[in-house]
A and B are shown apart, each in its own frame.
Chain A
């Protein structure tokens, strides 16, 4: 006796049972934290789609891509049963392509998040944190420039002194040298940064004031070119918990997509015959589960608006 299914299929279903719990832990945590993330008035303060760069269209396209791949897998399984192995391989290859498209779109979305600094622990949540992050970014640019001009200096002060001495000697010897201009720009930027940072420490900066100051600094003739990409960060309340839950859910899902691709790559490269039928069915079951997870992630992350 026993179950009327192959052992491998039973194994896959048991594994999927554990997978349900695995993803429920993340999705459940997300739901619970999201509901609990409120402001002082008790309303939801979860960051909106614009603030954290969530694009519902990208999510919808990805849902469509995964649904298509699920359909293709089931057609492949069907073809295996009918012993149409060439057809089955064609369907599996199309599935593989769909998985690539899905990961491509996902990578594009991740890229946007990385560029805007929507990463766990990196998002400024209050005005102070946003101001601090802006000045720190400016400091990074400054240090990079100092490193480039005076790589022999061991630390910031040493580099600064080295450049100041070099500036004086250059002014005496060759006042038209391009390096002199660079050094002067770096020193002027250093001065501007020190002043800005001092104001921040005294607490006389707010976001609007910083905005105008940064615009002024960027328009500066001497060093404006060095800080072209500097901008004032917007505080995003609960942006860090958003980033943590977003990346853990979509990250583990993307990992599952990758593993599914490996499973399909193995069968695509093999000489297909009826012994592969169970393999195709089981990897298909796994793939449908990956699709299932995304079916729930799509409304939960992309569709439900922040203003609950």
Chain B
């Protein structure tokens, strides 16, 4: 009984710290973030890496705001770490482990489509592409650069 009273007290306590005003502020920040990432895309900047880092950083920031305030994680007790850290670490680890093996060597530099055209080359355009793609010059540099 005292425990439920305790949790109720906690809830009322935390209610005071996050009211509708706070939610509205967070919502406006999120909207501004979305607008910024869309504008960054519209600018068509040449530095692609910068663009990728910017839009993903903004996405992470937005996700952080949603989780901390809308999902109340900021106001939760320490159980949140025990529950969420393992899956988040695995979630980040999964693509990272797949990347070097599959992502960077996914059919090397000759894609299966190009090889298929070699087998049944019928049109002029396709034949020339195959020659370019399977010529020793085209295959060499990837290994040579590393």
Pairwise interchain contact A295-B62, C-beta atoms closer than 8 A = yes
CA–CA, A68 and B98, complex, Å: 35
Q: Which residues of B contact A203 (CB under 8 A)?
A: 121-123
A interface residues, tally (CB under 8 Å): 71
CA–CA, A78 and B55, complex, Å: 31
- Determine the residue in chain B with the shortest Cβ distance to A63: B34
Pairwise interchain contact B27-A68, C-beta atoms closer than 8 A = yes
Known: A131-B123, A299-B59. A24 touches B77 (CB 8 A): no
CA–CA, A134 and B54, complex, Å: 41
Pairwise interchain contact B66-A126, C-beta atoms closer than 8 A = no
Q: Which residues of B contact A298 (CB under 8 A)?
A: 34, 37, 59
A296 contacts B by Cβ under 8 Å? yes
Q: Which of A10, A18, A32, A73 contacts B102 (CB 8 A)?
A: A32
Q: How far is the CB of B128 from chain A (nearest CB, A)?
A: 10
Q: Quick one: CB contact mask for B12-42 with A, threshold 8 Å, 1 for yes?
A: 0001000110011011001100110110111
Pairwise interchain contact B98-A21, C-beta atoms closer than 8 A = no
Pairwise interchain contact A67-B31, C-beta atoms closer than 8 A = yes
Pairwise interchain contact A40-B83, C-beta atoms closer than 8 A = no
Q: Which of B15, B24, B42, B99 contacts A35 (CB 8 A)?
A: B99
Q: Quick one: CB contact mask for A2-42 with B, threshold 8 Å, 1 for yes?
A: 01110000100110011011001101110111011111111
Pairwise interchain contact B48-A305, C-beta atoms closer than 8 A = yes
Pairwise interchain contact B103-A20, C-beta atoms closer than 8 A = no
CA–CA, A42 and B78, complex, Å: 47
Within 8 A of A (CB), among B69-108: 69-71, 76-77, 79-80, 83-84, 86-88, 90-91, 94-95, 98-99, 102-107
Pairwise interchain contact B23-A32, C-beta atoms closer than 8 A = no
Pairwise interchain contact A71-B125, C-beta atoms closer than 8 A = no
Q: Which of B62, B116, B138 contacts A126 (CB 8 A)?
A: B116
Q: Which of A32, A45, A201 contacts B95 (CB 8 A)?
A: A32
The interface residues of chain B, by DSSP majority, are classed as: helix
The interface residues of chain A, by DSSP majority, are classed as: helix
CA–CA, A207 and B117, complex, Å: 15
Q: Which residues of A contact B122 (CB under 8 A)?
A: 128, 131, 200-201, 203, 205
A307 contacts B by Cβ under 8 Å? yes
Q: Which residues of A contact B7 (CB under 8 A)?
A: 4-5
CA–CA, A18 and B24, complex, Å: 30
Q: Which residues of B contact A71 (CB under 8 A)?
A: 23-24, 26-27, 30, 70
- Determine the residue in chain B with the shortest Cβ distance to A13: B83
- Determine the residue in chain A with the shortest Cβ distance to B49: A308
Q: How far is the CB of A150 from chain B (nearest CB, A)?
A: 32
A142 contacts B by Cβ under 8 Å? no
- Determine the residue in chain B with the shortest Cβ distance to A73: B70
A304 contacts B by Cβ under 8 Å? yes
Q: How far is the CB of A122 from chain B (nearest CB, A)?
A: 15
Q: Interface centre among A17, A24, A32, A56, by most B CB within 10 Å?
A: A32
| Apart from A20-B91, A31-B99, A40-B138, 12 more pairs, CB < 8 Å | A13-B83, A17-B83, A37-B106, A40-B111, A67-B27, A68-B27, A70-B66, A295-B66, A296-B59, A299-B55, A299-B56, A302-B41
Q: Can you report 15 A-B residue pairs in the complex whose CB atoms are below 8 A from each other?
A: A4-B6, A4-B10, A20-B88, A21-B94, A32-B99, A42-B141, A60-B35, A71-B30, A71-B70, A78-B23, A126-B114, A127-B123, A128-B121, A203-B122, A298-B37
